[in-house]
Amino acid sequence: MIRDNVRRLLDEIPPGVELVAAAKTRSPAEILEAIQAGVRVIGENYVQEAERARAVIGGRAAWHLIGPLQRNKVKRAVALFDLIETVDSRRLATSIDNACAVVGKSMPVLLEVNSGREPQKAGVFPEEAVSLLRELAQMRHVSVVGLMTMGPAIGDPEEARPYFSRTKALFDTIKDMPLEGVKMQMLSMGMSNSYRVAIQEGATVVRVGTAIFGQRRSDPPR
């Protein structure tokens, strides 16, 4: 099933859009099957899960953190991930910068934007993004390479379109600004129920879990 789902998605997704397999709660065997079918990037929500999976799979794919990062787990995250998609504050970025400095690493990150202004979700409001980007651009070991947003996880995919449209507009505005040290190369938005709409609105990265692996098991302890 996983192999067939991945191949269908890769056939459907247009060139220039990266498929991230959202592997929350998935076993290393399931993740490996997705990689063998053609997935190049694995997205993990939790550091502990990523540690277990990467111990088995290693560098057969790139690893993105697509869930919230607690500052007390930053050192472990820096060692594990190739990109962190969920930076939404100066404090978190500073922790990442400091941890990277210790190991001599530069971490590409995406700025998470709360385009729906939903109080229960992480991310900066669109009007705060540029100010925060100016601060992040001064950090030596953090490199901003794009934006990420979360749309509604369930319901009519069209409900997510305004979120994606606003984020793409912000992405384009920032791209045209002279922000040294900030690059708008990646726009991560869209999940299993909404990736088609996200692509229509300009996503270059989609984070797909259920449409690859099937219905998710209960969340494990963090």
Identify whether the C-beta of residue 166 lies closer than 8 Å to the C-beta of residue 115: yes
Which pLDDT tens digit goes with each residue over 136-159?
Answer: 999 999 999 999 998 766 678 898
pLDDT recorded at residue 152: 67
Residue ranges per domain, the chain?
Answer: 2-213
pLDDT band with cut points at 50, 70 and 90 for residue 190? very high
Which pLDDT tens digit goes with each residue over 16-42?
Answer: 999 999 999 999 999 999 999 999 999
- Which of the listed CATH numbers 3.20.20.10, 3.40.1160.10, 3.30.70.20, 3.90.190.20 matches domain 2-213? 3.20.20.10
Query: Cα(10)–Cα(19) distance, rounded to whole angstroms?
Result: 8
Residue among 7, 8, 42, 45 nearest 25 (CA): 45
Which pLDDT tens digit goes with each residue over 44-64?
Answer: 999 999 999 999 999 999 999
